[in-house]
Amino acid sequence: MTAWLALLGHELRLAMRHPADTLAAVMFFVLVATLFPFGIGPAPEALARLAPGALLAAALLAALLPLDRLFGADAEDGTLDQLLLSGIGPAAVALAKATAHWLTTGLPLLLATPIAGAMLNLPPAAWPAAMAALGLATGFLSLLGTAGAALTLGARRGGVLLPLLVLPLAIPAVIFGAAGIEAAAAGLSPQPYLLLLGALLAAALPLAPLAAGAALRVE
């Protein structure tokens, strides 16, 4: 556990030294939310109707941006080989990468959710549910994306293959997250949908790092 925490701290320090990926993801998320009123018109009812799905789709696409470089730099300079020989275990390395990705990308997107929600005319009463849904959905995507990044490591045009692998698997998170936000906006309880998102995250938590670790071992 000490070695794993040291690896996680190392990943977070690297991200803090190069904040461009985090800034790009947040700006992409906010800009997509800004473009929707121009595309469908400023009618508040239309914006509020599209807000749940737009928030989930924009957040997941934004979280995908830094995933193709998750293992690439470490593989090029030999750091990945050293990590795999350090005794931590490939699955634990993948879990540390996924956790760092969520903390440096998913968490900032979560904090930007009220801004994007206001631009899409989402009722303030639904903002807590939106933040909870995006937190669970981006955590799920971080785990899936880590497995996808490991599978496409070293492949030609891996940056193109990665979204094609990950996005279809993320569709259930979009459906449940959008349904939860819509329920909260209508004054209903979003808990059933958030529980389903939590179940997806709980299933991916052990399986995705194992798949990523197996792919890294093959590489």
pLDDT at 40 over 70: yes
Computed over every residue of the chain, the mean pLDDT equals: 86
Give the confidence band of 157 by pLDDT, cuts at 50, 70, 90. low
Residues contacting residue 167 through CB under 8 Å, at least 6 positions apart: 60, 64
pLDDT value of residue 219: 59
pLDDT at 17 over 70: yes
Phi, psi dihedral angles at 184 (to 5 degrees): -65, -40
Distances (CA, A) of 117 to 33, 76, 88, 98, 148: 8, 39, 40, 26, 29
Nearest residue to 53 via CA among 26, 27, 32: 32
Q: How many CB atoms lie within 10 A of CB 34?
A: 13
Whether the model clears a pTM of 0.85, i.e. scores above it, the answer is yes
pLDDT value of residue 159: 67
Only one residue has tokens 């599209």, namely 50
pLDDT single digits (tens) 68-77: 777 777 777 7
